[in-house]
Amino acid sequence: MTEDILNLLLKSGKATTSEEWDAVYQDDLPVVVALSTVELGEAIEKLDEVGGYGYIATWKKNLFSFNPKLLSKRCGLIDENGNLLKAARIPKK
């Protein structure tokens, strides 16, 4: 099922493939897939490698099971079409 969401995300043109992450979003931030709240903890742990900055991709139909306010302000949320559901706070360079 992870491959399904990744294929749709890559077809959207808003993300590219990555060897280190599930994908990379437009602004070069990593994307990890969490298909349900069960996988959310693992996805957040993966993003901890980069200080929590990145995006979690999930099915739009599962959006109501995620509470974006409970996600870190550094972590954003996107759907399977690459639509931004919650923006990630991008670190200053």
Domain boundaries, the chain: 2-86
Give every CB contact of residue 38 below 8 A, 6+ residues apart in sequence. Answer: none
pTM comes to 0.83
Q: What does the radius of gyration of the chain's CA atoms come to, in whole angstroms?
A: 12
pLDDT, tens digit (0-9, with 9 covering 90-100), for 42-75:
888 898 888 878 898 988 887 767 666 666 677 8
d(CA 49, CA 35): 20
Give 40's pLDDT tier (boundaries 50, 70, 90): confident
27: number of CA atoms within 13 Å, CB side?
12
Pairing of strands 75-78, 54-57: parallel
More confident residue, 36 or 93: 36
Which DSSP state fits 88? Answer: P
